[in-house]
Amino acid sequence: MMAELGCVIIAGGKARRFGSDKRRLRLWGEHGPTLLEHTLAVAQTVCDQVVISLNDPLEWPELSVPLLQDAVPDVGPLAGIVAGMGLLATEWTLVLAADLPLLSSELLHKLIALPRHGLAVVPQRQADSQRHGGWEPLCALYKRACLPHFEQALAAGRYRLTQLIEQFQPQVWPIASTSPWYQNLHNLNRLDDLHQLATL
The mean pLDDT value for 41-49 works out to 94
Ligand-binding annotation for 97, yes or no, is: no
Per residue in 155-187, pLDDT (tens digit) is 999 999 988 998 898 999 999 888 989 888 887
Per residue in 10-21, pLDDT (tens digit) is 998 655 554 457
Query: Which CATH fold would you assign to the domain 3-197?
Result: Spore Coat Polysaccharide Biosynthesis Protein SpsA; Chain A (3.90.550)
Ligand-binding annotation for 21, yes or no, is: no
- How high is the pLDDT of residue 103? 93
The pTM (predicted TM-score) of the whole model is: 0.86
How far apart CA 130 and CA 70 sit, in angstroms, is 29
- How high is the pLDDT of residue 29? 62
Per residue in 63-96, pLDDT (tens digit) is 989 999 877 888 889 999 999 999 998 999 999 9
The mean pLDDT value for 134-152 works out to 95
Asked whether the predicted pLDDT for residue 190 surpasses 80, the reply is no
pLDDT band at residue 4 using 50, 70 and 90 as cut-offs: confident
Ligand-binding annotation for 193, yes or no, is: no
How far apart CA 187 and CA 64 sit, in angstroms, is 24
Ligand-binding annotation for 192, yes or no, is: no
Instruction: Note whether 151 and 81 are within 8 A (CB).
Output: no
- How high is the pLDDT of residue 198? 47
pLDDT band at residue 62 using 50, 70 and 90 as cut-offs: confident
- How high is the pLDDT of residue 55? 86
- How high is the pLDDT of residue 161? 92
Ligand-binding annotation for 22, yes or no, is: yes
Ligand-binding annotation for 74, yes or no, is: no
The mean pLDDT value for 23-27 works out to 75
**What are the structural domain ranges in the chain?**
3-197
